[in-house]
Amino acid sequence: MIFYRCASCSREYVFRRSKCPKCGSKDFSAVEITSATALDSVHLIATPEPFPDEYDVVLFQTESGSRGFCRATSQIKRGDKLKIRTDEVGILCEHE
């Protein structure tokens, strides 16, 4: 998963921005996120195509404090260490 880090203040964002809302800088670098910690999760049982019939949506936090969401095919609990990757459907997280 890619986050965008401001070169001036180091704030990270999931989506690329034209300028940093915190400091106003327009200089960003792409940072690959491969691990995180689960903050919370919700189990979904009625899902749209092309997703599996059941999965968890997990709110995670990176080591630098940035947060994002991923999909998990096994149960994830608060505090679990996660590996983050992408697949054909989107962002997937698994137990580390």
Neighbour-count burial of 4, counting CB atoms closer than 10 A to its CB (0-12 exposed, 13-18 middle, 19+ buried): middle
Q: What is the separation of C-alpha 25 from the centre of its chain, rounded to a whole number of angstroms?
A: 23
The count of residues in the chain is 96
Backbone angles phi, psi at 85, to 5 degrees: -150, 175
State the pTM of this model.
0.83
Share of the chain above pLDDT 90, in %: 72
- In the predicted structure, residue 48 carries a pLDDT above the cut 90: no
* Mean pLDDT in residue range 67-78: 92
Residue 51 above 90 pLDDT?
no
Within 13 Å of residue 41, how many CA atoms lie on the same side as its CB?
23
